[in-house]
Structure 1
Amino acid sequence: MNEGLTRLEQHEEVASLQAKCIDLECRSRRSNLRLVGIPEGLEGPQPTKFVADALVEIFDLSEPPLLARAHRTLAPKPAEGSRPRAFVICFHRYDVKEDIWRKASRGGQLKFRDKTVFVFPDFPPEIAKKRAAYYEVKRLLRSMSDVKYGLKGLTGFRITKNGAEHMFDTPAAALAFVKQHLLPA
């Protein structure tokens, strides 16, 4: 780092570099999805082929999608009976990944060999934490049938009621809006 910079300038430079690193990591994960719920050990020596065939079964595809790679998350193998590690799936083609994600997002249970599985986007931990911070807001809005809501972009939140759309950059701002304007007094 440049020695002639003030502490504030150094702090700003570090923050800028961190933002660039997160952006690059997001871009490198753009073609990835996470598949959660497949028991450990079923994949055998060829996890990429196994996951492609599993996607055919889960989504009733006509042929296996072309995957660049698929592997379990980099964590220690869990004990017997514990929750299995997720698969990180890198699709060769982005449009195929988006098609799978759309099918998974429609709702309804996804099944693989009588086990319920889930599909999620693959975000860096920093982004995943920011998105998870909206959980309380989503929990409060879930029972309101006349309100539409959802995550906007990587870390924003959108609430729509009676055609009026409200955008929030922080969970605290979204929560304050919900408590002040949408919850019964």
Structure 2
Amino acid sequence: MSGLDQRVATVETQVASWTDRDQELLYLRSKLIDLEDRSRRNNVRLLGFPEGIEGADLFSYLRETLPKLTEITFDPPCGISKGTQAGPQAGPQETGTPPSYHSLLAATHVGSQTATGSQNARPIQIGHLEIRISADFSKETAERRKAFLSLRSRLCQLNVKFGPFEPARMWITKNGESQNFYDPEICKCFWMGYMTSPTPWK
């Protein structure tokens, strides 16, 4: 083997090694995201509470009012492990109404029950504001959920059979075969015919 051939072979080996490492890093990153989501599974996000409505003790206010707002009977009783204000606060409005803020609540053992139950309940109104309750996810998972949601209307238009896998996956049936997708872009490429299957590690 000539010197040039040897150098080419060495470079090809290095590139293959880097590719394997990239795949391993992607896999490890997905595992870290999964662990973060698992650590948040007992959290619920409450969006749109008027500032100041909780009084001096947000913790006690949430413990008392969450069952009333959601009309959910908690069994065991709702136990709040953390109640904190989260997200950017809005400034005073021209109408003179109080600004609203995002409140993050961690409810021990009942987070998923609260988020799921409230999805089927009527909108929660406090004055002119609508309070929304949702599960709490990592930033990456929340972005993937949003991206998958944007694909749903197009899939319906194309009469593509699909469905969600929580917290942020989607399955699609094409030519009688179902595929499970972690990445919204790969999912889109698949039903458009650019790919025949998702990447193995996902």
Scaled by the length of structure 1, the TM-score of the pair is 0.69
* 1:1-185 equivalence runs, <5 A: 8=18, 11-12=22-23, 14-61=25-72, 65-73=78-86, 75-81=87-93, 84-93=100-109, 96-113=110-127, 115-140=129-154, 150-158=163-171, 167-172=180-185, 174-175=187-188
Say whether the 8 Å CA contact 1:37–1:83 is kept in structure 2: no
SS at 2:49 equivalent: coil
Opposite residue 171 of structure 1, the aligned amino acid is P
Unaligned stretches of 5+ residues in structure 1: 1-5, 181-185
1:91 positional shift: 1.2
1:170 positional shift: 3.5
- The alignment's C-alpha RMSD in Å is 3.6
CA displacement, residues 118-173 of structure 1 (integer Å, 9 cap, x when unaligned): 111111101111111123222335689x987543133311458xxx9664443345
Scaled by the length of structure 2, the TM-score of the pair is 0.64
User: How far apart in 1 are the matches of 2:92 and 2:117?
Assistant: 31
Question: Residues 131 and 40 of structure 1: is their aligned pair in 2 closer, same or farther, counting only changes over 3 Å?
Answer: same
Say whether the 8 Å CA contact 1:34–1:89 is kept in structure 2: yes
Percent identity, aligned pairs only, is 23
Counterpart for residue 198 of structure 2: none
Opposite residue 43 of structure 1, the aligned amino acid is E
User: How far apart in 2 are the matches of 1:141 and 1:53?
Assistant: 42
SS at 1:86 equivalent: strand
Question: Residues 99 and 175 of structure 1: is their aligned pair in 2 closer, same or farther, counting only changes over 3 Å?
Answer: same
CA displacement, residues 68-103 of structure 1 (integer Å, 9 cap, x when unaligned): 011121x4432123973322111122xx32332232
Alignment coverage as a number of residue pairs: 170
Question: Residues 170 and 76 of structure 1: is their aligned pair in 2 closer, same or farther, counting only changes over 3 Å?
Answer: closer
Question: Residues 70 and 150 of structure 1: is their aligned pair in 2 closer, same or farther, counting only changes over 3 Å?
Answer: farther
Q: Which is greater in Rg?
A: 2
1:44 positional shift: 2.7
User: How far apart in 2 are the matches of 1:123 and 1:102?
Assistant: 14
1:19 positional shift: 3.0
SS at 1:120 equivalent: strand
Unaligned stretches of 5+ residues in structure 2: 1-13, 194-202
